[in-house]
A and B are shown apart, each in its own frame.
Chain A
Amino acid sequence: MDPVQTAFALVLDPYVLVVILASAFYGLFIGAIPGLTATMATALLVPVTFFMPPIPAVAAIVTATAMAIFSGDIPGALMRIPGTPASAAYADEAYAMTKKGQAELVLGAGLVFSVIGGLIGTTILVFAAPSLAEVALKFSSFEYFWLVVLGLTCAIFIASDNLAKGFASLTLGLLVATVGMENPAAFPRYTFDRPELAGGITLIPMLVGLFAVSEILRFAVSTAPTLKLEQDRFGSIFRGQWKLLKQYPMATVRGSLLGTAVGALPGAGADIAAWISYAVSKKFSKTPEKFGTGHVEGIVESGAANNSALSGAWIPALVFGIPGDSITAIAIGVLYLKNMNPGPTIFMENPQNIYAVFIVFFIAQLLMLPLGWIAIKTYKQVLEVPRNVLMPLILLFCTVGAFAINNSVFDIGVMLAFGVLGWLLEANRFPVAPVILGAVLGHMLEENFITSMIKADGNVWSFFQRPIAGTLGVLTLLLWMVPIVLRLSKKGRVAHG
Chain B
Amino acid sequence: MTVRVNDVVSGGLVGALGVTALVLAQGFPEIPGEPGPALFPRLAGAGLLVVAVALVLGGWRSRNAAPWVEWPEWLSQPRRFAAVVVIVAGLAITALYIETLGFFICAPLLVGALLVALSVRVAVAIPVALIATAVVHAIFYSGLRVALPWGLFERFAW
**Contact between chains at B48 and A168 (CB < 8 Å):** yes
- Interface centre among B35, B117, B136, by most A CB within 10 Å? B35
Tell whether A404 pairs with B144 under 8 Å between CB atoms, given A189-B41, A388-B118.
yes
State A423–B95 Cα separation when bound (angstroms): 19
Stretch at the interface among A281-289, A302-310, A407-415: A407-415
At the interface, yes or no: B119 with Cβ under 8 Å from chain A? yes
- Indicate whether A183 sits within 8 Å of B40 (C-beta atoms), given known contacts A220-B118, A400-B136, A409-B95: yes
User: Once the chains are docked, how many angstroms separate the CA of A50 from the CA of B143?
Assistant: 13
**Chain A at the B interface: SS class:** helix
Q: Chain B 66-82, CB within 8 Å of chain A: the 1/0 string?
A: 00000010100000100
Interface contact B34-A458, CB-CB below 8 Å: yes
Given A164-B55, A403-B146, A412 contacting B31 (CB threshold 8 A): no
In the complex the two chains form, what is the Cα distance from A167 to B118 in whole Å?
36
With A175-B44, A221-B72, A420-B88 known as contacts, the answer to whether A399 contacts B110 (CB < 8 A) is yes
B35 to chain A, nearest CB (A): 5
Interface size for B (C-beta < 8 A) is: 69
B51 within 8 A of A: yes
Number of interface residues of A (CB under 8 A): 60
- Whether B2 and A175, one on each chain, are in contact in the complex, defined by CB atoms closer than 8 angstroms, is no
Do A427 and B1 touch (CB < 8 A)? Answer: yes
- Asked if residues A392 and B84 are in contact (CB atoms below 8 Å), the reply is no
Q: Is A428 an interface residue (CB 8 A)?
A: yes
- A172 to chain B minimum Cβ distance, whole angstroms, is 7
- The answer to whether A416 and B92 touch (CB under 8 A), given A168-B51, A189-B41, A221-B83, is yes
Task: Give the one of B24, B28, B80, B145 with max A CB within 10 A.
Answer: B28
B146's contact among A404, A430, A446, A449, by CB below 8 Å, is which?
A: A404
Contact check, B110 vs A413: say whether CB atoms are below 8 A apart: no
Q: List, sorted by A's number, 22 A–B pairs whose CB atoms are closer than 8 Å.
A: A50-B144, A164-B54, A164-B55, A175-B44, A178-B44, A185-B31, A187-B36, A187-B37, A221-B72, A221-B80, A389-B118, A392-B112, A393-B132, A395-B114, A396-B110, A399-B91, A407-B146, A407-B147, A409-B98, A415-B91, A427-B3, A428-B4
B binding-site residues for A, Cβ under 8 Å = 1-5, 10, 14, 17, 21, 24-25, 28-29, 31, 33-37, 40-41, 43-45, 47-48, 51-52, 54-55, 58, 72, 74, 80, 83-84, 87-88, 90-92, 94-96, 98-99, 107, 110-112, 114-115, 117-120, 124, 128-129, 132-133, 136, 140, 144-149
* Chain A residues engaging chain B, CB cutoff 8 angstroms: 47-48, 50-51, 164-165, 167-168, 171-172, 174-175, 178, 183-185, 187, 189-190, 213, 216-218, 220-221, 386, 388-389, 391-393, 395-397, 399-400, 403-404, 407, 409-410, 412-413, 415-416, 419-420, 423-424, 427-428, 430, 442, 445-446, 449-450, 453-454, 458
